[in-house]
Amino acid sequence: MKAIAVLPGKPNSVHLTDLQMPRVSDVPNGRGVLIEILRVGVDGTDKEINAAEYGNAPPGYDFLVIGHESFGRVVQVGSNVSELKPGDFVSATVRRPGKSLYDQIGHYDMTMDDTYYERGINLLHGFLTEHVVDQPEYLVKVPPGLASIGVLMEPMSIIQKGVVQAYEIQRRLRLWHPRRAAVTGSGAIGLLAALVLRLRGIDVTVFSRTPAPNFKAQLTEEIGARYVSTQETPLMEAARQFGPFDLVFEATGSARVAFQSMEILNKNGILILTSITGGKAKIEIPGDEINLRFVLDNKVMFGTVNAHREYFELGVKDFAHAEAAHKGWLGKLLTNPIQGLDNYAEMMRQLTEDKRAVKVYVELKPVVV
């Protein structure tokens, strides 16, 4: 069967390859689930893996099948699977357990291991192929009513993890009701973060470079958030006007913006870092002032990557909430469909060159409910 893969360590090596058709029996103890892949989202991670910034092939292979944002339909289940049945729609988690304590208790996204396993990213093949086999522990059922947006489940899980952990950390204050939040970046992660925060009743300002009017600004305003172009109003100036912010969700992929985000936090504020900034760029920051304000104002900053199934399940709930509150809005994020695995070059071109894209995704088969 077909698959889109890269040769880890070799820049711009994305290509079409062949994989053996998986079987339910590939998973021991009758716990296998065979899934027909319908859609796979691609993002900056796939672009960076193709640029050879990171990523390793599974043992026994010289290539890595990419694609970690999965959505598919169950075709067959093993004899010991009761959680799922043929016809169910599912999305799969990305990180898989290693050996640390956190891995063993189901929090494999918080592993202490130096070697980690992520489907489509490191040491495990991803989902840009026709069929995969997995275990039900790593599959989250998506209701038929949400199937049209199911390919957004993985990025939504990242938002859920960041927001949930922010609230958990802020329990240190005994009482924390954030009123104002900033989201830096208006890609899929940034817009989903704005949505989740608006669903919680928070005043949200989304910062992006491109001046309005544009499609991302329109999407931002449709959910009752504020869109500010940093080309027209620098971040620090806008923060004085609309902040300071009790919570900042950083999603630009820019180290410069990440460090600037530290300066716009309110007292007792919290900064969520989700950017993966490859490369070796150096920037100059007001280090003494940032450190002083973090200490005196009791601020917190943390990084988050990947998510375990609990956050996927929370994502399903917020998807349902969003469809009730802003019907059809999530579907508008699916801006750039690519038809079939054969069009991998166009997939990578749009991912790299189309600055207007919110979500590029490959459609292998139509989603029919």
The number of residues making up the chain comes to: 369
Q: What is the pLDDT of residue 286?
A: 87
Q: What is the pLDDT of residue 278?
A: 66
What's the rounded Cα separation, in Å, for the pair 182 and 35? 38
- pLDDT per residue, tens digit, the chain (369 aa), is 999 999 999 999 999 999 999 999 999 999 999 999 999 999 999 999 999 999 999 999 999 999 999 999 999 999 999 999 999 999 999 999 999 999 999 899 999 999 999 999 999 999 999 999 999 999 999 999 999 999 999 999 999 999 999 999 999 999 999 999 999 999 999 999 999 999 999 999 999 999 999 999 999 999 999 999 999 999 999 999 998 999 999 999 888 898 999 999 999 999 999 987 766 778 888 889 999 999 999 999 999 988 999 999 999 999 999 999 999 999 999 999 999 999 999 999 999 999 899 999 999 999 998
Q: What is the pLDDT of residue 211?
A: 95
Q: Which two tokens stand for residue 334?
A: 């699916």
- Its pTM stands at 0.94
CA dihedral 347, 156, 262, 221 (to 10 degrees): 90
Whether omega for the bond prior to residue 143 falls within 30 degrees of 0, making it cis, is no
Q: Which two tokens stand for residue 352?
A: 């790299």
Could you give all domains of the chain from N- to C-terminal order, each with its CATH number? 2-142+335-363 (3.90.180.10), 158-303 (3.40.50.720)
